[in-house]
């Protein structure tokens, strides 16, 4: 299945939550990724952590392209253009950074792939727009100003699409606060895919948590 830039952006906005995940064991990764997809989050950010994360990512992407072609696997924690290119060549459908790296934006634009740069200021968000980034990651979301920051940015720059990541909870109050501020999606790691669930192999629990989060976001949007 072809996942071009537009369909990746649309999928991410529609599901509203980007699961953020890393584990060194490929079987655990496949179980978590499939649980997220069954829960309604098919676009998933794997993070570039640990030795050989690139090889692990390539193996996962190759397997999923055959078994689960609707999964949209992206890579996070990419901070240089060379690494971005290597992940693109291993099947990454989108690239995420903790910071704003213009050279990564150029590589992604050359390959017509969505890039979500980490931004922590209005100036960085403006630079991301100039570099062609449709959605910017606010990172670390809860620490650089939270929902109040998003609301303030949306005043003078209402075309901005923000995806906070870092410290975002999946509960209803948190979803109301963040989505009420004008975000288009949120990255969620440790609160969505808990260490306890991963350690105990509770894939059904992860699926249920993702499903509940996607539904809560959809319900908030329907009301707003």
Ligand X SMILES: O=C(O)C(=O)C[C@H](O)[C@H](O)COP(=O)(O)O
What span, in angstroms and rounded, lies between the C-alpha atoms of 172 and 115? 28
Q: How far is the C-alpha of 223 from the C-alpha of 172, rounded, in Å? A: 13
Instruction: Determine the Cα–Cα distance for residues 124 and 148; give it in Å rounded to an integer.
Output: 17
Give Dmax (Cα) for the chain.
47
Q: How far is the CB of 169 from ligand X (least distance, A)?
A: 8
**DSSP-derived 3-state class of residue 139:** coil
Q: Which of 189, 203, 206, 217 binds ligand X (CB under 6 A)?
A: 189
Q: 67 or 143, CB closer to ligand X?
A: 143
- Any contact of residue 143 with ligand X (CB under 6 A)? no
For ligand X, the closer CB: 47 or 160: 47
Sheet with 136-138: list strands edge to edge.
118-119, 136-138, 162-164
C-beta of 78: minimal distance to ligand X in Å?
Answer: 8
Determine if 167 is a binding residue for ligand X (CB under 6 A): yes
Pick from 19, 39, 40, 76 the residue near ligand X by CB under 6 A: 76
Q: Which residues make up the interface to ligand X (CB under 6 A)?
A: 20, 47, 76-77, 96, 98, 140, 165-168, 187-191
């Amino acid at each position: 299945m072809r996942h071009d830039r537009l369909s990746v952006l649309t999928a991410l906005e529609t599901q509203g939550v980007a699961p953020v995940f890393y584990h060194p064991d490929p079987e655990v990764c496949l179980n978590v990724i499939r649980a997220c997809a069954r829960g309604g989050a098919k676009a998933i950010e794997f993070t570039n952590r640990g030795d050989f994360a690139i090889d692990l990512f390539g193996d996962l992407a190759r397997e999923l392209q055959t078994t689960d072609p609707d999964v949209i696997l992206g890579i996070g924690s990419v901070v240089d253009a060379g690494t971005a290119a290597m992940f693109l060549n291993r099947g990454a459908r989108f690239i995420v950074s903790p910071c704003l790296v213009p050279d990564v934006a150029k590589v992604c634009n050359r390959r017509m792939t969505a890039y979500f740069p980490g931004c922590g200021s209005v100036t960085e968000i403006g630079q991301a727009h100039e570099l062609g980034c449709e959605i910017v990651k606010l990172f670390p979301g809860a620490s650089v100003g939270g929902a109040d920051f998003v609301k303030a940015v949306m005043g003078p720059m209402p075309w901005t699409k923000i995806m906070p990541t870092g410290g975002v909870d999946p509960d209803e109050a948190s979803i109301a606060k963040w989505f009420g501020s004008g975000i288009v999606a949120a990255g969620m790691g440790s609160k969505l895919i808990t260490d306890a669930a991963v350690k105990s192999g509770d894939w059904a629990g992860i699926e249920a948590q993702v499903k509940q989060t996607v539904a809560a976001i959809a319900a908030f949007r329907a009301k707003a």
